[in-house]
């Protein structure tokens, strides 16, 4: 077949451009490669395949380029130019077996036809290479290309991979056409005897001129050019009827050489037009029903007197792509066989361009719809603050996307098993109603809500679920309905959208269904976020009210501040003679005097003068911090006061000013006061297993309670009249807050165990005040020691504190049991043996901490001694009561007289 070669020549000259340019370098210009791919799309036989492949590869590979093609026929790879069959063994077959492209310096001459040897046989000239390219389809070789070219490089591999895909399509087309036989049936029925060779050559030339004019046009323009050509050849009014993607409609975009502003849709379910598509055969007006003729006349706005309808077959799939129709032939009562031949002849030559432009049109339509969906997402997610506004937006976007006459959206009320609509067709339900409710299992919307499946009704009145009384009541006429579910991220149906009456078609098609389901995803996400947003707003209001109430109860009046300051700042010696000694018991101080004592410690440590703390601010801060503690048995304000007092003792008795900066000591003391703010009497693991609010806020990287304590401290500092750091410089202020965060998080025993090796190394090497890391480690150690300071007090204090601790533990254990969980032994009042628990706690946590402190500061040796003495007493108690059991687990007062 020589038509493609002629087409190539005509494209070069009649088309006004050179289609293929051979270049001497690897890179191909975009125009050359585009032209080459267009030529590949027109391939219909072996000869044109080789020419098109050579043209495309010449635009990509170094010159000179020569290509030989082999196609798989009857189980053998055969080359037509020169005619021969590929050997069953050898280097070429090895490449085919490996299913990969091979670059070599030539092929053994014995494997080649003698005409191929100058281009392909080894040895080759310098810088000349051979590429063996198997063309694979679903794991099988359907063709092989032997390519002779200049020296290649790795940069061309990706381009060759892409080009091979286009060549694969071309090879499949050639093999398919060879299996089907000639494209044009030239039998007596279609090729009249009066059309001689001269007429055929003239027709070929006109068809090729038409092909040359179709370059770089869109689908509508290509159809327009073809129709104008056929109208001239057949003396008829012509049009394309494109088969829709769901094969349910015929779409007309161009008629009589005129591009329509809006495409016309015809049904394939009535009459005999569908037979032309289904059976792939031509029709005349005699084959059409009255309904077909009426539909064509009304839709296309012409009175059909004569008609010839020729199917355009997709050569890759065998399905009908379009119907090419010629109406009302001038001066004749019917179309002739010559007219059918002309149409088929035109289709044969223009099919490659037509099919490509139609495919491009579909891709652009899909791209437009995707962009529209992205814009929909943007529009929907900008209206999350109001559900009704969002629903209006959903309805508007749904109507625009699908070209529907009206739309309604129902939300599913699962509690009442009803579908609820507050917005209908873009407006509110009505002045007299705030919402419209229907049963969730009735009607079309109810069916979709129940099944979760889309429902496309082409004829509403013939569907059993359609309620026609509504049309009678409103005067609205429902023709077709597309109803689809709206689902959340879990796949549960949360609503239903119902589109009514397709505007530019007889009904909603498969494309509308796919678009609706994609759109429903955005609807579901936006609705879920809108409802969540409402819950968040409500939660914020509730939180604001709670904070307002909490602030009211924590608020300290000016009278309370003045009453506290009226006592004056007592020197610490006047509080108790041994107040600054390790033996002093801070828990012996009455609760009423603790806030005053804290202010005395601030004064004695020089913080008030150094940091210019306003006394009213300090008094208010101390009172608010005191109120910030809840009243669990152990982790309460008295515990915080005891910890702060022990910090004071460490700083005074161990001369911490030589080891730490003054600002670090200041941050440490304030941290001790705040380190357990708002403690709930439960530990970190309980927060997580109970999924508490704190766990949701802080559980990302551990230390749930400690982080909460710190942020509560920040909240107090930010309260009016409570910021004791107000007169610090900006740098000092941020430094203090950073130190407080580090110090308060050190009260988490898990944190202490993580840094234990570093603490032991520091104790072994000795403290170096020039190392910032040693400063941080020392601050953490001092905080931990202060937090455990009750273990260094006398036996009476020690066992009473143990009673408070286990009362708090057992309370948590009871709550865990109520939740259906099994608490740890130390939390379970039924299993816990307090003496052994105390012994283990002191051996693994308490004594190592005070041993480290003693190693760093020999002056703290008495603390280790006191803790060790209490440890020995617990061992004695454990041995004494192991057999008979403790007299009571709720009270340890019986231990007071043991020693």
Can you say how many angstroms the Cα of residue 573 is from the centroid of all Cα atoms in its chain? 66
Contact status, residue 316 vs residue 169, Cβ threshold 8 Å: yes
Q: HSE-up of 678 (CA within 13 Å, CB side)?
A: 17
Under 8 Å between Cβ of 716 and 556:
no
Taking 3-state DSSP, the helix, strand and coil percentages for the chain, each rounded to the nearest 5, stand at: 55, 15, 30
Which of the residues 345, 635, 679, 774 is marked catalytic? Answer: 635
Closest by Cα among 751, 785, 755 to 857: 785
Cα→Cα distances 102→97, 131, 149, 467, Å:
11, 6, 13, 68
**Cα 326–327–331 angle (5° rounding)?**
110
Q: Which of 101, 118, 244 is nearest to 168 (CA)?
A: 101
Residue 216: closest CA among 21, 11, 48, 370: 11
Q: Could you say which DSSP state residue 487 is in?
A: E
Helices (H), 381-509: 387-402, 443-451, 469-474
Burial class (CB in 10 A: 0-12, 13-18, 19+), 490: exposed
What separation, in Å, do the N-terminal and C-terminal C-alpha atoms of the chain show?
Answer: 117
Q: Which region, left, alpha or beta, applies to residue 378 given φ > 0 means left and ψ of -120 to 50 means alpha? A: alpha
What single string gives the DSSP state of each residue in 787-855?
Answer: HTGGGGS-HHHHHHHHHHHHHHHHHHHHHHHHTT----GGG-TTT--HHHHHHHHIIIIIHHHHHHHHH
H helical segments located in 566-661: 572-575, 594-604, 607-610, 615-627, 637-653
Residue 451 C-beta-side C-alpha neighbours within 13 Å: 12
Sheet holding 102-104, edge to edge: 83-85, 76-80, 66-73, 140-150, 128-137, 102-104
Q: Contact, 65 vs 149, CB < 8 A? A: yes
For every residue of 721-759, which 3-state class applies, written as one string?
A: CCCCCCCCCHHHHHHHHHHHHHHHHCCCHHHHHHHHHHH
Of 409, 331, 413, 369, give the one whose Cα is nearest residue 518: 369
The Cα 49–Cα 54 span in angstroms is: 8
Residue 160 C-alpha from the chain's centroid: 33
The residues facing 420 across adjacent strands are 411, 437
SS3 884: coil
Sheet of strand 307-313, all strands in order from the earlier edge strand to the far edge: 258-267, 249-255, 237-243, 320-327, 307-313, 283-284
By residue count, the chain amounts to: 899
876 flagged as catalytic:
no
Contacts 24+ apart (CB under 8 A), 614-618: 614/724, 614/726, 614/727, 615/565, 615/569, 616/561, 616/565, 616/721, 617/721, 617/722, 617/723, 617/724, 617/726, 618/724
Task: Indicate which residues carry an active-site annotation.
Answer: 635
């Amino acid at each position: 077949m020589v038509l493609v070669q002629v087409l190539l020549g005509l494209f070069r000259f009649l088309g006004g451009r050179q289609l293929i340019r051979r270049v001497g370098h690897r890179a191909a210009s975009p125009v050359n490669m585009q032209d080459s791919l267009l030529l590949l799309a027109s391939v219909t036989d072996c000869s044109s395949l080789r020419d098109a492949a050579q043209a495309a590869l010449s635009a990509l590979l170094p010159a000179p380029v020569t290509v030989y093609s082999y196609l798989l026929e009857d189980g053998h790879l055969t080359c037509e130019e020169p005619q021969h069959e590929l050997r069953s063994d050898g280097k070429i077959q090895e490449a085919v077996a490996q299913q990969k492209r091979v670059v070599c310096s030539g092929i053994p001459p014995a494997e080649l036809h003698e005409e191929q040897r100058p281009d392909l046989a080894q040895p080759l000239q310098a810088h000349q290479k051979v590429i063996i390219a198997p063309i694979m389809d679903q794991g099988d070789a359907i063709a092989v290309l032997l390519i002779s070219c200049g020296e290649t490089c790795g940069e061309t591999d990706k381009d060759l991979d892409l080009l091979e895909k286009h060549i694969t399509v071309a090879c499949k087309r050639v093999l398919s056409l060879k299996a089907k036989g000639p494209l044009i049936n030239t039998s007596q029925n279609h090729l009249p005897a009066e059309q001689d060779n001269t007429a055929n050559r003239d027709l070929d030339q006109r068809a090729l001129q038409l092909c040359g004019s179709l370059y770089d046009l869109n689908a509508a323009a290509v159809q327009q050019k073809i129709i104008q050509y056929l109208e001239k050849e057949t003396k008829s009014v012509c049009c394309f009827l494109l088969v829709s993607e769901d094969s349910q409609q015929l779409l007309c975009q161009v008629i009589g050489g005129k591009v329509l502003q809006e495409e016309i849709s015809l049904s394939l379910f009535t009459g005999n037009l569908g037979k032309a598509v289904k059976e792939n055969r031509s029709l005349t007006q005699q084959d059409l029903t009255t309904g077909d003729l009426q539909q064509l006349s009304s839709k296309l706005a012409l009175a059909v007197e004569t008609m010839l309808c020729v199917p355009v077959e997709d050569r890759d799939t065998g399905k009908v792509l379009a119907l090419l129709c010629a109406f009302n032939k001038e001066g004749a009562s019917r179309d002739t066989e010559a007219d059918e031949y002309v149409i088929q002849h035109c289709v044969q030559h223009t099919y490659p361009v037509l099919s490509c432009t139609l495919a491009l049109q579909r891709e652009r339509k899909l791209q437009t719809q995707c962009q529209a969906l992205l814009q929909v997402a943007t529009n929907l997610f900008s209206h999350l603050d109001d559900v009704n506004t969002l629903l209006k937006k959903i309805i508007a976007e749904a109507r625009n996307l699908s070209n529907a006459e009206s739309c309604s959206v129902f939300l599913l009320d699962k509690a009442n098993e009803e579908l609820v609509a507050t917005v209908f067709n873009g407006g509110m339900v009505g002045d007299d109603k705030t919402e419209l409710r229907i049963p969730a299992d009735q009607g079309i919307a109810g069916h979709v809500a129940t099944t979760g499946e889309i429902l496309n009704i082409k004829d509403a009145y013939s569907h059993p679920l359609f309620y026609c009384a509504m049309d009678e009541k409103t005067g609205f006429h429902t023709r077709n309905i597309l109803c689809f579910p709206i689902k959340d991220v879990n796949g549960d149906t949360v609503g239903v959208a119902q589109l009514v009456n397709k505007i530019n078609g007889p009904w909603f098609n498969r494309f509308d269904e796919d678009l609706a389901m994609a759109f429903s995803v955005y609807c579901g996400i936006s609705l879920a976020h809108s409802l969540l947003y409402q819950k968040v707003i409500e939660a914020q209001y509730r939180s604001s009210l709670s904070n307002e109430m909490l602030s009211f109860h924590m608020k300290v009046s000016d009278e309370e501040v003045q009453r506290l300051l009226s006592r004056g700042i007592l020197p610490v010696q006047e509080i108790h003679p041994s107040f600054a000694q390790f033996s002093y018991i801070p828990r012996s101080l009455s609760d009423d005097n603790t806030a005053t004592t804290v202010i005395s410690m601030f004064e004695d440590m020089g913080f008030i003068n150094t940091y210019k703390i306003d006394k009213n601010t300090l008094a208010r801060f101390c009172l608010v911090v005191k109120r910030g503690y809840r009243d669990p048995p152990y982790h309460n304000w008295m515990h915080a006061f005891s910890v702060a007092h022990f910090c004071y003792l460490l700083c005074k008795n161990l001369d911490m000013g030589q080891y730490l900066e003054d600002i670090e000591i200041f941050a440490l003391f304030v941290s001790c006061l705040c380190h357990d703010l708002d403690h709930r009497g439960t530990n970190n693991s309980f927060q997580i297993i109970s999924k508490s609010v704190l766990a949701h806020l802080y559980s990302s990287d551990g230390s749930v309670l400690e982080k909460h304590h710190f942020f509560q401290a920040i909240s107090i500092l930010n309260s009016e009249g409570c910021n004791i750091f107000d007169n610090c410089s900006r740098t000092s202020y941020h430094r203090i807050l950073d130190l407080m965060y580090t110090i308060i998080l050190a009260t988490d025993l898990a944190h202490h165990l993580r840094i234990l090796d570093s603490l032991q190394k520091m104790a072994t090497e000795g403290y170096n005040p020039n190392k910032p890391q040693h400063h941080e480690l020392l601050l953490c150690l001092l905080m931990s020691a202060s937090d455990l300071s009750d273990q260094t007090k006398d036996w009476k204090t020690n066992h009473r504190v143990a009673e408070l601790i286990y009362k708090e533990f057992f309370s948590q254990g009871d709550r865990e049991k109520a939740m259906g969980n099994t608490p740890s032994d130390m939390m379970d009042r039924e299993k816990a043996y307090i003496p052994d628990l105390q012994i283990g706690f002191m051996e693994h946590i308490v004594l190592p901490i005070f041993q480290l402190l003693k190693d760093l500061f020999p002056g703290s040796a008495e603390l280790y001694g006191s803790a060790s003495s209490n440890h020995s007493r617990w061992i004695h108690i454990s041995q004494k009561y192991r057999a008979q059991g403790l007299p009571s687990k709720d009270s340890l007062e019986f231990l007071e007289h043991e020693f």
